Structure 1
Amino acid sequence: MTPISRRTLMTVASLSAAAWLNPVRAQLAGKPLTLIVPAAAGGTTDIAARMLAEPLGRILQTSVVVDNRGGGNGNIAGQMVARGPEDGSTLLVQYSGYQCITPLIQPVAGFDPAINLKPIGHLIDAPQLLVVRANFPANTFEEFLKYVKANPGKVNYASSGNGSLQHVTTELLKDLTKTYMTHIPYRGTGPALNDLLAGTVDLTITTPPPLLPHIRAGKLKALMVTGRTLLAALPNVPTSTEAGVPLVASSWFGVYGPASLSSDVQNRLSLAVKQVVESDGFKKRAEEQGAKAIVMNSAELAKLAANERNMWGRIVKLANIKAD
């Protein structure tokens, strides 16, 4: 019996995957696929969507458009997708804060992302960085903490919105360090970052992708990583554990469709997203952004979201976080 070469096996697998995706391609024929982003351009959710768009379009043989719809702590974009077409042509690139925290502090009658959105697949996971403006009078986390304690209420921090993971994480930091800082919410990470760079606000805690270029350019100072391990892109920035604060928090980003999406289309889209995320190119881009590409199917993503909703629910209650 003639041995089957590795190339032949790969070709067969590729053809099988192509056949599996044909029904979705037929549904999308002549119609662009739209990725709705629940935040302004420039944040990690937007970056994740743009990392996904081109390779996903190649796999599904259609054009992919990224549409930024910020506001309402993710509720505007979420409802738009939940009420959208059932053919898989409009999907949501979701941020974990909006999936797991927003429903706890800003519920919308008739809309719950855990019910009205159908999980498709996980994209990236990223720890968060505490960064301050370039001229902030502290160069280490220890100096930062000393300054904040000496100036209660005078230091302000930006977030991508009330109840965002950035907001909740910073409130947890305040509780752990017994400090007081003033919260300034924005309509997404992009606008918050713009004001931080301009010196209008003092700091933010958010994921690395939108921050790294500015840190490398000396426009922001990174003081701490809210993860258990050092960040490969910034090996000299200490973890929260090294800084003496038991603060571990990361953001994740996934793809969702409307609840009306058929299980068949959901599974086929999940396969397409999986192909993108497990590709070497996507993994490399994620690492360059200070994030990690992680493959999860629909069921695994649903379980992750449910667990985090329970976890952050305790923090929301502890910090008494309310909607605007």
Structure 2
Amino acid sequence: MTTIHRLLATALALVATAAGADTWPSRPITFIVPTAPAGSTDIMARMVADPLQRALGQPIVVDNRPGASGNIGTEAVARAAPDGYTLLMQYSGYHVGNPALFPQIKWSPTKDFLPVAMVMRAPHVVAVSGKVPAGSMKELIAYGRKKEGGLFYASAGNGSIQHIAGELLARQSKQPMTHVPYKGSGPAINDLIAGNVDMFITTPPSVIGHIASGRMKALAYTGSKRHPSMPDVPTSAEAGLPGYEVESWFAVFAPAKTPPEVVAKLSAEIRKIVESESFRRKVDEQGAFATYMDSAALGRFVEQELASWSKVIRAADIKPA
């Protein structure tokens, strides 16, 4: 191929890419969620998908692909065509925790994805089954020390932030605990309500309704201050665990090499949603905080989080199984 032919081929490819970006979206979009239905990641995907599909004029299908601590769904997006029609609603525990926990994973949080936008940040809540005879963290720890096998705590999978949060709590409280991993928050919540496990340290959106109904009890909020939607729930420090702060975030990512015009359009539309009064009110009601970050800011934040959580995981000697 001559130099002229190569230049023409490159020019045509650029034109085709630009044309594709200009007409995007022309068909339905899939939001892959690497967790089971009913968890915070699933709730957030649906809260964003509904207004986003109206803004873009195309249906958005939420596709739950739980398993392997989020690696199944995450890898599916990493390997998807970079055309803007397959996106990832990601949970921070998977995106910045899994690389340190699972050295053999087949995806990279920085090489295989383009950050699109952050949508929510959420400190966790220490939720216990309504059947647990404890109304405070002090009473829970005392109960666990008397209970055979100690406290049984649920997580959305080995290596999830919920798993890490439980290990950190066990170390800080010097409390024996047994980790029970599930394929997402939904199954964990069902077993917590049934009393099959004692505790679930998770983001509020997936449990706040059950707390209000009395099927669960919230003993501590792992933020630096109380949340307006749960004014009676003490912070970790107020509950006797100073320094025990755990926060998750949720963000949209696209496969690497997705056209920048598509990423920019997505990010701009998501910003309108996240900064809207209706979205902020819904997130506030869920015990979390609507938080927008654009692609560049989210990319920098991911790098910081990767370094931070890697240190936490190593320091606590947390293993995936």
Q: TM-score, normalised by structure 1?
A: 0.90
Post-superposition shift, 1:86? Answer: 1.7
Aligned to 2:65: 69
One-letter amino acid of the counterpart of residue 107, structure 1: P
2:92 to 66, 86, 96: 96
Post-superposition shift, 1:109? Answer: 5.0
One-letter amino acid of the counterpart of residue 298, structure 2: L
1:263 to 253, 260, 263: 260
Q: Does 1:304 align with 2:301?
A: yes
1-side partners of 2:148 and 2:123: how far apart?
Answer: 27
Q: In the alignment, is the contact (CA less than 8 A) between 2:165 and 2:246 conserved in 1?
A: yes
Q: In the alignment, is the contact (CA less than 8 A) between 1:152 and 1:181 conserved in 2?
A: no
Q: CA RMSD in A?
A: 1.5
1:111 to 107, 111, 125: 107
Q: Does 1:32 align with 2:41?
A: no
Q: Does 1:122 align with 2:118?
A: yes
2-side partners of 1:49 and 1:121: how far apart?
Answer: 12
1:207 to 184, 203, 210: 203
Deviations 1:279-301 (A, max 9, x none): 11111111111111111001111
Q: Does 1:288 align with 2:285?
A: yes
2:226 to 224, 230, 236: 230
Determine helix, strand or coil for the equivalent of 2:82.
Answer: coil
1:315 to 312, 317, 320: 312
One-letter amino acid of the counterpart of residue 281, structure 1: S
Deviations 1:23-82 (A, max 9, x none): 7572221x1111100100000000000000111111111111100000111111111111
Determine helix, strand or coil for the equivalent of 1:132.
Answer: strand
Aligned to 1:6: none
Q: Does 1:274 align with 2:274?
A: no
Determine helix, strand or coil for the equivalent of 2:292.
Answer: coil
Q: TM-score, normalised by structure 2?
A: 0.90
Q: Does 1:172 align with 2:175?
A: no
Aligned to 1:11: none
Post-superposition shift, 1:154? Answer: 2.6
Deviations 1:195-228 (A, max 9, x none): 1111111111001111111111110011000110
One-letter amino acid of the counterpart of residue 265, structure 2: R
**Structure 1 outlier segments of 4+, above 4 Å:** 22-25
Q: In the alignment, is the contact (CA less than 8 A) between 1:126 and 1:252 conserved in 2?
A: yes
Determine helix, strand or coil for the equivalent of 2:183.
Answer: coil
Q: Compare 80-89 and 108-117 and name the one that shifted more.
A: 108-117
Aligned to 2:12: none
CA, structure 1 residues 162+112, in 2 after alignment: closer, same or farther (shift >3 Å)?
same
2-side partners of 1:114 and 1:156: how far apart?
Answer: 34
Deviations 1:241-273 (A, max 9, x none): 111211111110000000121222212211111
1-side partners of 2:22 and 2:31: how far apart?
Answer: 16
2-side partners of 1:163 and 1:84: how far apart?
Answer: 24
Aligned to 2:50: 54
